[in-house]
Amino acid sequence: MDRFLTFDTELASIIEDDGTGNWAERGPFDFSVAAVSDQDGATRIWHSVDSSGGPASIMSRETALELLRFLRTEQERGVPIVTWNGLGFDFRWLGVAAGDPALAARIALDHFDPMFQFHCQRGFPVSLAKVGEGLGIPQTKLMSGKDAPIAWRDGRRAEVIEYVRGDVQLTAKILRRIVETGGVRWRTRAGSLSGEAMPKLLPVRDLVDLPLPDTSWMSDPIPRAKFFDWIPELAGAPRTGAMTAAPRPTRART
């Protein structure tokens, strides 16, 4: 990919740990801020504005919808949109916040999510941080994703903005390295390095029908459909019809 946009969001909703590890299913959520970065690291920040002219406590429906329309317009211009697990979370709940889940679903189907592609090939997810470490890309984390909503609530909004800016810039660096090397490397839980070939990145709509990997060695594998069962075109529908349900925008060559 010569040109692309990476995308990420942060929540305003504070999610209490219920011990299940299934917090992504507990929406709908309020968002605080989002960021978009181009292939060179130039970023654009999206948040609503309060009466004092500063970042509002939550992103309004109008701002969320404006953001989705921007992303779709860029897709239709041929610019790939890229996230790290945006399929399973960001687009799902941003569509609800914007009052237009159908638009979010169209963007999600046509965007590139290397984490989802990795899951389709290996059967388990991998974090952006572990891939960055495996690819030798230096990272400076200002906070964790779970701490960002608390910091936003407490008025440390400039810090959260810099945090999400750093995440989309990191995603852009990782994407370039994946394209250059033709694969993903990551730091495993055991501390060793492992790799997975990924010579061609595919949009989400072209991934859902890939052959399932062997997950017989896992005690509790995450089903692939868990990432996309919120999309009406895919949830419970035959795969062949699902893939032609939404029109494809013109895309830049990958």
The predicted structure's pLDDT at residue 21: 60
For residue 18, the SS3 value is coil
Per-residue confidence at 237, pLDDT binned at 50, 70, 90? very low
- The torsion defined by the Cα of 115, 121, 125 and 129, in degrees rounded to 10, comes to -50
Element (H, E) at 9: strand 5-11
Q: For residues 106-115, b (16+ Cβ closer than 10 Å) or e, as one string?
A: bbbbbbbbbb
Element (H, E) at 8: strand 5-11
AA identity, residue 190: A
- Residue range 5-242, CATH number: 3.30.420
Phi then psi for 37, rounded to 5 degrees?
Answer: -125, 145
> Which CB contacts under 8 angstroms, 24+ apart, belong to 66-71?
67/34, 67/94, 67/98, 68/94, 68/95, 68/98, 68/100, 68/103, 68/104, 68/107, 69/103, 70/36, 71/5, 71/7, 71/36, 71/107, 71/111
The predicted structure's pLDDT at residue 49: 97
Q: For residue range 84-138, what is the model confidence (pLDDT) as tens digits?
A: 999 999 999 999 999 999 999 999 999 999 999 999 999 999 999 999 999 999 8
Mean pLDDT of 17-27: 67
For residue 44, the SS3 value is strand
The predicted structure's pLDDT at residue 142: 65
By C-alpha distance, which of 103, 118, 113 is closest to 82?
A: 113
Per-residue confidence at 19, pLDDT binned at 50, 70, 90? low
Q: For residue range 161-192, what is the model confidence (pLDDT) as tens digits?
A: 999 999 999 999 999 999 999 999 999 999 99
Rounded to the nearest integer, the mean pLDDT of the chain is 89
Q: Note the helical H segments in the chain.
A: 61-76, 91-98, 101-110, 114-122, 128-134, 148-153, 157-181, 239-242
Any idea which of 15-24, 95-104, 134-143 has the lowest mean pLDDT? 15-24
What is the rounded distance in angstroms from the CA atom of residue 118 to the CA atom of residue 217? 17
Does the pLDDT at position 37 exceed 50?
yes
For residue 183, the SS3 value is strand
Total length of the chain: 254
Does the pLDDT at position 62 exceed 50?
yes
The predicted structure's pLDDT at residue 18: 62
Q: Give the chain's largest Cα–Cα span.
A: 56
The predicted structure's pLDDT at residue 215: 93
